[in-house]
Amino acid sequence: MPLLEIHDLRKRFGALEVLRGITLQVEQGEVIAIIGRSGSGKSTLLRCVNGLERFESGCATVEGQPLRHDDAAALRALRQRVGMIFQSFNLFPHLSAGRNVMLAPTLMRRLSGATAEAQARALLARVGLAEKFDAMPDQLSGGQQQRVAIARALAMEPAVLLCDEITSALDPELVGEVLRVVESLADEGMTLLMVTHEMGFARKVAHRVIFLDAGKIV
């Protein structure tokens, strides 16, 4: 059974149909790059998979569980299995890097403070930021903030990680440090769905490249 299954997904904003019947299956450990021009529906597709956007018709299942907006508990449980990293890092500015990573596990998975801290330190080390546990977001470069965001997403131990143009807000010299972390996740067998403009990276890391145009896979 595919880890992620999308069938005939349709999404509109007012009169504009942004996704026009997307069907896609993603296997465990697969890395898929989604490319296409601006406005083709790439980010909307990821937001639908994560439950951030309601879709008009079709279905999406993760590990066999359907995404249902009418069941808050089921949606919350599914979101814990689907990690998402955004273009803008979205770190809480009043929390240190370590506390940003600890927050969701302590709230959602009810980890003790000591367990969550140990996990956060291990994850920050995994993304090359072992020494930044107590650093505040405004003391970090954009690339470092994005790596904290990756660690925060990994803290929920997701089955699949959605990456929405995670390097597009970075200065060119910082892009490589983030892509190296994503490449290491791919090497470790993480299931990844990435919207990206980094064609060389997509060619190197992705098992498949999906090209979206006007809301359809072409």
The verdict on pTM exceeding 0.85 is yes
DSSP string, 97-115: HHHHHHHHHHHHS---HHH
In sequence order, which ranges of 67-198 are alpha helices (DSSP H)?
A: 72-79, 97-108, 113-126, 142-154, 172-187
The arithmetic mean of pLDDT across residues 140-163, rounded, is 94
- Spatial distance between the Cα atoms of 120 and 149, rounded to a whole number of angstroms: 12
- Residue 121 pLDDT > 90, yes or no? yes
Burial 164-190 (b: 16+ CB within 10 A, else e): bbbbeebeeebbebbbebbbebbeeeb
Element (H, E) at 17: strand 16-26
So what's the pLDDT on residue 111?
78
| Other beta carbons less than 10 A from residue 88's beta carbon | 13
CB 129 within 8 A of CB 148: yes
CB 155 within 8 A of CB 102: yes
pLDDT tens track for 15-45: 999 999 999 999 999 999 999 998 899 999 9
